[in-house]
Amino acid sequence: MREVCFRKEDVYRGDLILVNEDFALKRQNAVQRLVPADSRYPEVLLGNRAASMLACLIREICGEAEIIPVSGYRSFEEQTKIYEDALLEHGESFTRKYVALPDHSEHQTGLAIDVGQAVTELDFICPEFPYEGICQKFREKAPRYGFVERYGKEKENVTKIGWEPWHFRYVGVPHARFMKEHAICLEEYIELIRQYPYPEKALEIKGEEWTASVSYLRQSTEEMFVTLPEDVLYQVSGNNVDGFILTVWSENTNGE
């Protein structure tokens, strides 16, 4: 058996952190290992794992010539400038709907990417990404690579962000698949997982060859310890709210 330590500061880092109007990013915990989302666009950065999965997704659908990474990681200063420029150019109503305040933007995590269809004149704030052709193929395959379309039209009252067909967020494969299959957004998923406290309950998400058991641990002390089997594959993410999401993988046996 092995002992896993959950530290309070880790609540604010991981693939499943919720960054929105209500929960600000703790900047010192932002993704540090940033790499180009696409070698052709070295200025557009993503966290290492998210960038790798994005590249695999685009390769599978043969979308290299038709899909462009528009905006990935942004520093606090970049997000501030984008917000202020949008206010000047588009006004307060548009800006509050489509541009997050500094430290409340997923782009500062290194886990979010805006993608656009390759067109002559690309809109940096609202790039074209229609629900057809190669863009729709990207959208349909995205959960298999851990990405979700983050701001759906029907979820505006939950996310407090306007419909953004171009904005995708990396959350990890099992979580993205569950969110897509059940038509829920990240806010709703974080709330759902609270109903599965570790070790009493776990939400089981089944893939073709694996099962992911997902549980919630509330952070109640500076450090907590959980004992897991030595050979188990697991991942821990903070939720940026009040605790952790523990994902434990197991291999499906014949007949499952």
Q: Supply the Cα-derived Rg of the chain in whole angstroms.
A: 18
Beta strands in the chain (DSSP E): 2-7, 34-36, 45-47, 67-71, 112-117, 147-151, 164-170, 203-206, 210-218, 223-228, 233-238, 243-251
CB atoms within 10 A of CB 256: 11
Alpha-carbon distances, residue 79 vs 84, 114, 239 (angstroms): 9, 14, 22
Count of CA atoms in the C-beta half-sphere (13 A) of 103: 9
Residue 256 falls in the annotated catalytic set: no
Cis peptide before 42 (omega within 30 of 0): no
Catalytic residue among 164, 181, 230, 256: 164
Q: Determine the Cα–Cα distance for residues 102 and 210; give it in Å rounded to an integer.
A: 38
Three-class secondary structure of residue 187 per DSSP: helix
Residue pointed to by tokens 């949008």: 86
Angle at 139 between CA 237 and CA 144, to 5 degrees: 50
CB atoms within 10 A of CB 104: 19
Catalytic positions are: 164
